[in-house]
Structure 1
Amino acid sequence: MNTAPSITDTLTNMFNQSIQVISKPSVATFEQFENKGTLREAVIYVLTAGIIVGLLNWGGGFGGFLSGIIVTIIGFLVFTYLVHYVGKSQGGTGTLDNVAYTFALFWVPISVLTAVLNLVLIVTLIGILLIPLLMIASLVVDVYFAYLAVQSSMNLRESGKIWITLAAAFVGTLAITFVVAVIL
């Protein structure tokens, strides 16, 4: 009987794989893990990160916490679906599972680390001035890892096709996330 791994096993495995991806960023590192999980595991990992980030940013109360989790999950799903869809239109051959799993491996630790640093900066008056720099740095790091992840998960190697895929996914996700945030 083939049973799915427990949530604890999933989180432990993905955390260990995230350490490898973050400490040795390359297409080859992503390719080691792209077939190790599915959209299911990616969503569990992202949901866990959303809860952690929500707790770290509790300032908005329970409603802010809950809407943060919903926006996180919807944003992640929309982005990975769009990367897969647009990547296919650019000649990519990866699966949605490959895309979601590889993106979760870098996205989760970067999101949690950014939230921790944001909380630390909010506590200090001078640190508040550094928050915009933290957000820019986080975006740059996300883009770097996303560029590598698209090469691995969608098997795209042409720079133009990778940038088209990422730009279209970013714009689409921004629009849909904005609509969801307004509704919530």
Structure 2
Amino acid sequence: MNTTPSIADTVMNMVSQSIQVLTKPSVETFEQYENKGTLRDAVIYVMIAAVITGLFSLGSGLGAFLNGIIGTLVGFLIFTYLVHYIGKTQGGTGTLDNVAYTFALFWAPINVLFAVVSLILLITLIGIFLIPLLAIGALVINVYFAYLAVQSSMNLRESGKIWITLAVAFVGTLIASIVIAGILR
């Protein structure tokens, strides 16, 4: 008998865990879930979120939709690998599974919510002017949750080491994204 949960069960568990992480943000909440999944689980969850957000922009064409999904997955993987690697250089002790799973719990639902609200604002036309503010808000929220997630998943507590980890991961991901975009042109 196979005791491995199905993909549907894993995703439903992650949705439930995401709700907890988003409504009770703390290092302790993240620590409850950091060992509950793997990199594979995180990638599946992020891919589902990428497809959902892509569906909201499908009007831009199938190519843009597919590039968005691939770009999202590659960006997520690069970022989480860099958080893990840089976190280790800062004395962190977490695993790549811990980092990817923890980040997926907040990143996926925040991005889906951003896509839904952006579409609503776009439809209202007046709301189109609020989309940049929404993007800034989503960025701030992601940074806040990333700060908590690094503390939990990498077991880092010193603020400077957490910021170094996040800043280097962000810059590395940005550079990789620019290179990948140049290649795909």
CA distance in 2, matches of 1:82, 1:16: 27
Amino acid at match of 1:56: F
Instruction: After TM superposition, list the pairs within 5 Å mapping 1:79-98 onto structure 2.
Output: 79-98=79-98
2:13 matched residue in structure 1: 13
Q: Structure 1 length normalisation: TM-score?
A: 0.97
Shift of 1:2: 5.1
1:105 aligned partner, one-letter code: L
Q: Identity percentage over the alignment?
A: 73
Once the two structures are overlaid, the 10-residue window that deviates more, 121-130 or 101-110, is 121-130
More displaced 10-residue stretch of structure 1: 171-180 or 25-34: 171-180
Cα distance in structure 2, aligned partners of 1:139 and 1:91: 26
Deviation of 1:167 after TM superposition, in Å, equals: 0.2
CA RMSD across the alignment: 0.9
Q: In the alignment, what sits opposite 1:102? A: 102
The alignment of Structure 1 onto Structure 2 pairs a total of residues equal to 184
Q: Which runs of 5+ in 2 are unaligned?
A: none
Runs of at least 4 residues off by over 4 Å: none
- Which range is displaced more, 3-12 or 164-173? 3-12
1:123 equivalent in alignment to 2:123 = yes
**Cα deviation digits, residues 120-139 of structure 1 (max 9, x gap):** 11112211111110100000
Match of 1:155 in 2: 155
Q: Which runs of 5+ in 1 are unaligned?
A: none
TM-score w.r.t. the length of structure 2 is 0.97
Counterparts in 2 of 1:20-99, with a 5 A limit?
20-99=20-99
Distance 2:19 2:44 in 1: 17
Q: CA deviation at 1:158?
A: 0.2
Inter-partner Cα distance in structure 1 for 2:115 and 2:132: 13
- Displacement of 1:91: 0.2
In 2, distance between residues paired with 1:117 and 1:182?
30
The one-letter amino acid of 1:49's match is A
* Cα distance in 1 between the residues matched to 2:176 and 2:137: 23
